Amino acid sequence: MSRKVWFVLLLGIVMAWTVQVSAQSAATQPAASKAVAMRPAVTQPASTQPAGQAAFQQAWDRYTVIVWRFKTPPVGPELKSALESAGIHAVHLDGGKDGVSPETVAFLQKTGFTGYLDHAAGKGYLHLVPPDSDKVKGQLEPVARPKCLSDPATMDAMKKLIKMNVDAAKKTKVVGYAFDDEISAVSFGSPCDTCTSKYCLERFRRFLKRTYKDINTLNRQWGTDYESFSKVSIVGCEATRQANHEQPLSEWNLSGWVDSREYIDQNFADTLQELVEFTNKLDPTRPAGYVGSGGPTAYGGYDYEKICKVIQWIEAYDIGGTDAIVRSLMPKNPRVQTWFDNKSVEKNKWFNWYYWSQGDRGQIIWPATDEVSPWFPGPEARKDIQALRPMLEETQGDKLGKMLVGAEYATDGIAVYLSQPSIRVSWFMDIIPHKETWINRASSLNNANDTAHWNRYGWMKLLDDCGFTYNFVTPSQVTAGELKKYKVLILGHALAMSDEEAKAIQEFAEAGGTVLADHLCGVFDEHGKARSNGALDELFGVTHNLSYGLFNGKVLYEIDAEQFGSDPIEKKVTTAYEGAPTWKDLVVYERALGATEGAEATDKVDNIAVVVKKGKAVYLNLSPVSYTYERYNPKMTYWPHLITGLLAEAGIKPRVKVIRMETEEPEMITQCLYWKVAGGKMALCLIKNLFRSAQIDAAGETQGNISSEPTKIRLVFASAVKGLKNERTGKVLGDGREFEDTWTTCEANVYTFE
């Protein structure tokens, strides 16, 4: 054997030994010595693509329904029988401080079942529990986070648990590792200003120095007079509220608080990145992530622009559109939903088919505690699941179970802007009616009353119902030039943006792209400081005079959670909407919007510009929040007509219309999703587009009607298709533009065509 060959072999051995030693060293070396070297710097530039973009399809090769073992039979023959009788072959493994039980490992090894590992990093670090969580809740001033995420001891403790739990779980056929359940920067989405520990303050000050370069620049932005960065601390909501809520909106400066939230969100993402990298060294074949994520809001750390760059799979409660957001930002990586009992066979069928159609990789079943749940609390209740077994077997089978794994979501060229700075500013407007009781705006209250959520819901359901498909895009994607993939950009409730973002959007428009905004677009910079003019005012040809106020001129907030927190959304907007000017029964948002020379105010009310057009830029002085409750009666709302017309002007029309043959009317509340699948074909998933307000401990409210009775429908395509086939029935419908079929609306129809 030549010396060259010997050298190559020796080099391979050395490299393999180095990797092994590095992994062992990472798990055992003193935490303090590795904290700086291993931890990425806060706000370090990152790729716009998520970790493991196309990876893990071999380990997680199909749609998988997993039972979380709560009130189920213990591992053994009875559990195996119960699961198999329902067409389920996966359970969770519980990690935690005591490690995965050998009995559970043996059960999976013996049965060949799959599943996922939960609590790999234990419970109490990423998810604070009492008494630690009690120390951060209800605090008006910034506090230190118990088990600070910047503390090397916290990271070291989590890594030790991860190594113990992953080493045990990787002996089974688990599809992924979850660090913990319902993790957050503080306490889910509840407001609390952290972290003032010595570890975080040091990192926060470094973050500010990288952002502003010198203290004078920070002082100009914040309106402060700090002598040096070493004097700066986390800025809390209460001090910011007292300084701004009594001021006109045009004079708000939220910079210190917004920058503090930006740091906490980035630090949360940095923590996840380090844990993912560590876990990948222990097992590079399966994805690392977490479960029980919340909706994107000001608190909690749920900045999905950051999170989706570092994790490899996630279970995010579908709050504020998180499922579609993650689909957009992690298009090839696994995501799942928690499946609570919907208390009806039809709703349970719809739930499973809905998220299958969205491209989710599976569901985690949470067994309810009552006697009527189908999820295994007792023999009588277990009978109900038999009606679901055929569906569970079909969606997990070799055909449909694998169809959307690795498939590409095919949009209509529409991008919807997702801006975390705008979410923060919106939240700060939301808390005006609470005054000093904002600290009591717990996760559940916020989830039901977050204006940014409801604006996003409005745009999503509007586009879905009109037959359009879209992706969410983030500021980093926009500034990286990714708008060139799209024809239309929708700026919904885009209150805050940087000059760099505005420039990229302007260039997109100059290249022929259409830009739609709804209100207050770019009136704040990315730090939450009000601008004298909106960042894109010149593009849209608009002027603002915020001294005239918003809506009815009495309030600045759209949703009144203080008086109507538990009421339906249509009541919660009465404080702002009553007495406000309207256009075609839609409430006008800004009371003094005007059009500049070169722009055309095509519609006005009381001399207020409502629709302003300048070239292919359109400014709508409206809010889509009302669409979320008016959509079930299309005669009540002008929104579909307005948006369908504007997108037609941009060259985008629905690819297919679904007609109910009984009435010869369009089938309302219907979503059509398109996927590029194996073999070069297109898959069309037809599903009822019910509005679902997800909850963290229940199925959540679903609005709209579905049925288990077949309905005759006609599919009318805009362009002829070839070889249309119903993949569920096997029926070949052939070539052409119009086809007749049947559809059971509590399920999905799945078609393929060329």
Same domain? For 533 and 626 the reply is yes
Candidate from 184-193, 407-416, 484-493, 610-619 with smallest mean pLDDT: 184-193
Same domain? For 588 and 642 the reply is yes
Q: Determine the structural domain holding residue 719 and report its residue range.
A: 656-753
CA distances from 612 to 513, 545, 604, 652 (A): 17, 15, 9, 20
Looking up residue 722, the CATH number of its domain turns out to be 2.60.40.1180
Residue 323, helix vs strand vs coil: helix
Backbone angles phi, psi at 226, to 5 degrees: -65, 145
Whole-number pLDDT of residue 699 = 52
Out of 623, 649, 675, pick the residue that ends a domain: 649
Name the residue with higher pLDDT: 712 or 704: 712
* pLDDT at 709 > cutoff 70: yes
* pLDDT at 18 > cutoff 90: no
Count: domains in the chain: 2
Does residue 174 lie within any of the structural domains?
A: no
Does residue 46 lie within any of the structural domains?
A: no
Same domain? For 678 and 618 the reply is no
Rg (the chain; Cα; Å): 26
* pLDDT at 9 > cutoff 50: no
- For 163-182, the pLDDT digits (tens) are 999 999 999 999 999 999 99
Name the residue with higher pLDDT: 73 or 375: 73
**Region 720-731: what's the mean pLDDT?**
98
On average, the pLDDT of the chain sits at: 90
Does residue 170 lie within any of the structural domains?
A: no
E strand intervals along 509-605: 514-517, 542-543, 582-583, 586-587, 594-595, 600-605
Same domain? For 523 and 551 the reply is yes
Beta bridge partners of 605: 608
Looking up residue 482, the CATH number of its domain turns out to be 3.40.50.880
Same domain? For 497 and 445 the reply is yes
Same domain? For 504 and 640 the reply is yes
Candidate from 3-17, 484-498, 599-613 with smallest mean pLDDT: 3-17
Cα–Cα distance measured from residue 548 to residue 677, given in angstroms and rounded to the nearest whole number: 52
Whole-number pLDDT of residue 107 = 97
Cα–Cα distance measured from residue 745 to residue 409, given in angstroms and rounded to the nearest whole number: 22
- For 319-364, the pLDDT digits (tens) are 999 999 999 999 999 999 999 877 788 999 999 999 999 999 999 9
- For 101-140, the pLDDT digits (tens) are 999 999 999 999 999 999 999 999 999 999 999 999 999 9
Does residue 130 lie within any of the structural domains?
A: no
Does residue 179 lie within any of the structural domains?
A: no
Q: Over pLDDT 90: what percentage of the chain?
A: 83
* pLDDT at 13 > cutoff 80: no
Whole-number pLDDT of residue 33 = 31
**Region 481-497: what's the mean pLDDT?**
98
Cα–Cα distance measured from residue 105 to residue 74, given in angstroms and rounded to the nearest whole number: 13
Which tokens sit at 748?
């999905």
Whole-number pLDDT of residue 73 = 80
Cα–Cα distance measured from residue 646 to residue 632, given in angstroms and rounded to the nearest whole number: 22
Does residue 705 lie within any of the structural domains?
A: yes
Same domain? For 614 and 707 the reply is no
- For 625-656, the pLDDT digits (tens) are 999 999 988 778 999 999 999 999 999 999 99
Whole-number pLDDT of residue 705 = 82
Print burial letters for 263-272: b (CB count within 10 Å at least 16), e (below 16): bbbbbbbbbb
Same domain? For 540 and 416 the reply is yes
CB 453 within 8 A of CB 320: yes
Name the residue with higher pLDDT: 624 or 71: 624
CA distances from 728 to 105, 396, 401, 669, 742 (A): 35, 13, 12, 22, 11
Whole-number pLDDT of residue 369 = 55
Band (432; pLDDT cuts 50, 70, 90) = very high
Same domain? For 588 and 609 the reply is yes
DSSP character for 588?
Answer: B
- For 221-269, the pLDDT digits (tens) are 999 999 999 999 999 999 999 999 999 999 999 999 999 999 999 999 9
Does residue 391 lie within any of the structural domains?
A: no
Out of 622, 649, 676, pick the residue that ends a domain: 649
The CB-side HSE value for 211 (13 A sphere, CA atoms) comes to 23
Whole-number pLDDT of residue 30 = 32
Whole-number pLDDT of residue 82 = 83
Whole-number pLDDT of residue 46 = 41
Same domain? For 575 and 707 the reply is no
- For 397-420, the pLDDT digits (tens) are 999 999 999 999 999 999 999 999
Whole-number pLDDT of residue 29 = 32
Calculated CA dihedral for residues 221, 223, 228, 229, nearest 10 degrees: -50
Which tokens sit at 707?
């049925």
CB atoms within 10 A of CB 219: 15
Same domain? For 616 and 585 the reply is yes
Does residue 90 lie within any of the structural domains?
A: no
Residues comprising the chain, all counted: 754
Band (367; pLDDT cuts 50, 70, 90) = confident
Residue 296, helix vs strand vs coil: coil
Whole-number pLDDT of residue 422 = 98
Same domain? For 491 and 608 the reply is yes
Long-range contacts of 31-34 (CB under 8 A, 24+ apart): 31/152, 31/153, 31/155, 31/156, 32/152, 34/152
Out of 594, 616, 649, pick the residue that ends a domain: 649
- For 553-572, the pLDDT digits (tens) are 999 999 999 999 999 999 99
